[in-house]
Amino acid sequence: KTRGLLYCAYRRAHRAAYIHSDPARYHDQIALFFEFSSVLLWQKKKV
């Protein structure tokens, strides 16, 4: 389920970046996505 959520978030970021066609915003979204996924992975390891 978490993978699906991450994929949705990634697709949303990608779409938003495409619509704005703003490279800075795109990289911001990707950085956020990776940060979010790494936090999720860390929480999974902790449990």
Domain boundaries, the chain: 2-46
pLDDT at position 1, please?
65
- pLDDT value at 31 more than 80: yes
pTM: 0.38
d(CA 21, CA 12): 14
Taking CA atoms, 14 is separated from 18, 24, 28, 38, in Å, by 6, 12, 11, 18
pLDDT at position 18, please?
63
d(CA 2, CA 9): 10
Percent of the chain with pLDDT over 70: 68
- pLDDT value at 42 more than 80: yes
Confidence of residue 33 (pLDDT cuts 50, 70, 90): confident
Q: Report the chain's mean pLDDT, rounded to a whole number.
A: 75
